[in-house]
């Protein structure tokens, strides 16, 4: 089982592990898209799994998504 995260834990994780800020204030589950503000000022959406496990911690301009083949 995955650990159940709270919005406060996510916020802390985001602050400690990225240059982005969490804008979302409620967390409903790991598949939920969370809103972030990148250090460059762009807003972007990621679910927690992508942010945390796949290290997608910036907007698509600062960190372009890898082409999936």
Chain positions contacting Zn ion, by CB under 5 A: 38, 40, 42, 59, 62
Q: Cβ of residue 53: shortest distance to Zn ion, in angstroms?
A: 20
Cβ-based nearer residue to Zn ion, 9 or 19: 19
DSSP 13-57: HHHHH-S-EE-------TTSEEEEE-TTS-EEEEEHHHHHHS---
Cβ-based nearer residue to Zn ion, 38 or 48: 38
Q: Cβ of residue 1: shortest distance to Zn ion, in angstroms?
A: 33
Q: Cβ of residue 14: shortest distance to Zn ion, in angstroms?
A: 14
Phi and psi at 46, nearest 5°, equal: -145, 150
């Amino acid at each position: 089982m995955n650990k159940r995260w709270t919005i406060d834990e996510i916020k802390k994780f985001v602050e400690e592990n990225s240059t982005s800020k969490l804008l979302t204030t409620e967390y409903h589950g790991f598949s939920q898209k969370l809103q972030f503000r990148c250090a460059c000022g762009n807003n972007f959406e990621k679910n927690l799994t992508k942010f945390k496990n796949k290290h997608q911690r910036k907007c698509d301009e600062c960190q372009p998504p890898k082409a999936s083949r």
